[in-house]
Amino acid sequence: MKYIIYCRKSSEEDRKQYQSLETQEHLLTELAKSRDLDIVQIFRESKSARFSNNRPLFAEMISLIKSGVANGILAYHVDRLSRNLKDAGEITELMDKGFLHEVRTPNDCYITSSDLLKMNINYVFAENYSRELSEKVRSGNDTKIRKGEYPSMGPIGYINVKNGIVPDLDRSFYIKKIFDLYDSGVSIGKIVKIAFEEGFRSKRDRKLYKSSIGRILTNPEYYGVIRRKGTLYTGNHEPLITKALFDKVQDRLNQKTRSKTRELFFLYREYLVCHKCGCKLTATMKKGKYIYYYCTNTKNICDQHKDYIKESEMEGLLLGLMENIIPDKELFSLSFQRFVFNKKAEIKNSTKERELAQKQLDLLQKRLDKLEDMYLEERISGEKYDVKKRDIQSELTDFQMLLKNPNKDKGYSKLELVENFRNRAISLWKLFYDGNDEVKKEILESVLWNCGILNKKIVTTRYKLPYSHLKKFGQTTNLAILSERQDSNLRPYAPHAYVLAI
């Protein structure tokens, strides 16, 4: 057998006096020498195992085992391998599938199915320890915050002491000056330069850039509060500025970052493209009240920029598009009725399938329980037990996945969505005709990508889904074709079938 030595220690265990990486490696190397074990690689990782996907060296070790480079692991304790059930499950699965033959520690060796159970119990204890440790830390921080004590590393301008934070005599006066400078109208860029020239540095003696100054100016903790997860608590540390100054600075910051509103609003500009050159159409207002649309002629190859289209004319063209989305409303309604009938039958059949799957699942669970009893009573061998258990577990997984279908209870709610879309599609022309600018804008955003304009006419149209599928009603009158749904060969959806997908 070939082994990998895996050593791990995280910062949260420093106060617990857990064995260092060097000590773990030394003990495991000595264990390998005493047992004449073949070591192919040693990993030393300083990462927490509380969450999965947090340890690159652990992932590399798993890959090496899957590729056959090694089939055994040496660790100081199983909690060095994991403190979460997902990573524990990976180790267990490797052993179940035969990639991993052994997990060995100085005190234990895990190689059989019974050992797996024991190992998983150890993993649960390890995860529980991690959870309790996290809860204790959180509880301790909450207690500190309620007492007004700063619970973690203080912001720049403060230093940490036993029961919180106090002003840093070397930096705190810079904080007050930064707020005063910005309040007086000095830009953040200028403040960066002034602070650097006067010797203001970070806690790591580095230059503070605009982003750092921005964080200082938006940190309310400088006026005496503690900020945690968006909530402010009263702190007992000495404020470096007044709340009034902080509020004035926030007002100025918000004023500078507030985007300027567009003075002129051209409703259709975003959806119009010149069919001849591909440039976007722009708009202008003449005599203070007349809006015209025309090609920008950015490429200097087009004569369409000479044709100005009145906004009223453009609205008429778009109304024609809305009216033509569903050429045959009666056929559309019949197709919808057929779809509702088929969908209700599908939901009913799906319910029966789930009931049968649940019954089969119960039978398989009983078979698995009976197999466990036979094994414990030594009526079957361990090898036969493993084979039978694997077969039953495979079937169990299949039925469990079937019952976990996230769409099991959404059939009727989707029918309601489809009906709402049907009603909206049929009345789209009237909604656009009667609606104000906000209504028209919302309809255009949901229906259109763009329209190609040539000689003051719409010659091409790109509809958004699902409206693009509705055009198929103008290409066929075969109800059976219109009622088709997309299959495994990825044939196109009929309009209502696509709506179901939304």
- The whole-number average pLDDT for the span 114-137 is 63
The pLDDT value given to residue 117: 62
Q: What is the pLDDT of residue 488?
A: 37
| Three-state DSSP state, 315 | helix
Is residue 169 within 8 A of residue 240, CB to CB? The reply is no
133 pLDDT above the threshold of 70: no
- Is the pLDDT at 170 greater than 80? The verdict is yes
Q: Provide the phi-psi class of 491: left if phi over 0, else alpha when psi is between -120 and 50, else beta.
A: beta
Confidence of residue 129 (pLDDT cuts 50, 70, 90): low
- Of 243, 224, 227, the C-alpha closest to 235 is 224
The 10s digit of each residue's pLDDT in 54-98 is 899 999 999 999 999 999 999 998 888 887 778 878 888 888 888
CATH superfamily of 158-257: Putative Large Serine Recombinase; Chain B, Domain 2 (3.90.1750.20)
Please give the share of the chain, as a percent, with pLDDT higher than 70: 72
The predicted-structure confidence for 244-266, as pLDDT tens digits, reads as follows 899 999 988 887 555 444 456 78
pLDDT higher than 80, residue 476: no
Q: Which residues of the chain are in CATH 3.40.50.1390 domains?
A: 2-139
pTM of the model: 0.33
Q: How many CB atoms are located within 10 Å of the residue 117 CB? A: 12
Which two three-digit tokens encode residue 276?
């001849």
Which one of 123-132, 150-159, 466-475 scores highest in mean pLDDT?
A: 150-159
Predicted local distance difference test score (pLDDT) of residue 346: 63
Q: Where in the chain is the domain with CATH 3.90.1750.20?
A: 158-257
- Residues 72, 37 contacting (CB under 8 angstroms): yes
| Choice between 427 and 111, residue whose per-residue pLDDT is larger | 111
For residue 223, pLDDT beyond 70 = yes
The highest-confidence range among 49-53, 101-105, 226-230, 469-473, by mean pLDDT, is 101-105
Strands 281-286 and 290-295: antiparallel
pLDDT at 30 over 70: yes
pLDDT band at 493, cuts 50/70/90? very low
Q: Is the pLDDT of residue 465 over 90?
A: no
Q: What is the DSSP letter of 494?
A: P
**CA 274 to CA 284: how far, in whole Å?**
16
Q: Is the pLDDT of residue 24 over 80?
A: yes
The SS3 of residue 20 is: coil
- Encoding tokens for residue 200? 């203001």
pLDDT digits (tens, 9 = 90+) for 365-424: 888 888 888 887 778 887 888 888 877 877 766 666 666 554 444 555 555 666 666 677
Which strands make up the sheet holding 272-274, listed edge to edge? 272-274, 448-454, 457-463
Q: Which tokens go with 122?
A: 């150890």
Report residue 2 as tokens: 């070939």
The Cβ of residue 318 has, within 10 Å, a number of other Cβ atoms equal to 23
What percent of the chain has pLDDT above 90? Answer: 19
DSSP for residue 15? G
Cα separation, 197 vs 202, in Å, equals 14
**How much is the pLDDT for 463?**
83
- 28 Cβ neighbours under 8 A, 6+ residues apart: 5, 7, 74, 75, 76, 106
Q: Per mean pLDDT, which range of 137-141, 225-229, 319-323, 452-456 is the poorest? A: 137-141
How far is it, in rounded angstroms, from Cα 224 to Cα 210? 23
Please give the pLDDT value at position 17: 52
User: Is domain 2-139 classified as CATH 3.40.50.1000?
Assistant: no
Confidence of residue 241 (pLDDT cuts 50, 70, 90): very high
Quick one: pLDDT at residue 293? 92
Mean pLDDT to the nearest integer, 216-225: 91
CB 479 within 8 A of CB 337: no
pLDDT at residue 72, as a whole number? 94
Q: How many CA atoms lie within 13 A of 49 on its CB side?
A: 27
Instruction: State how far the Cα of 151 lies from the Cα of 465, in Å rounded to an integer.
Output: 52
- Secondary structure (3-state) at 477: coil
- pLDDT bin (cut points 50, 70, 90) of residue 43 is very high
Average pLDDT, the chain: 78
Q: What is the pLDDT of residue 219?
A: 92
Residues 6+ apart with CB under 8 A from 94: 62, 65, 66, 100
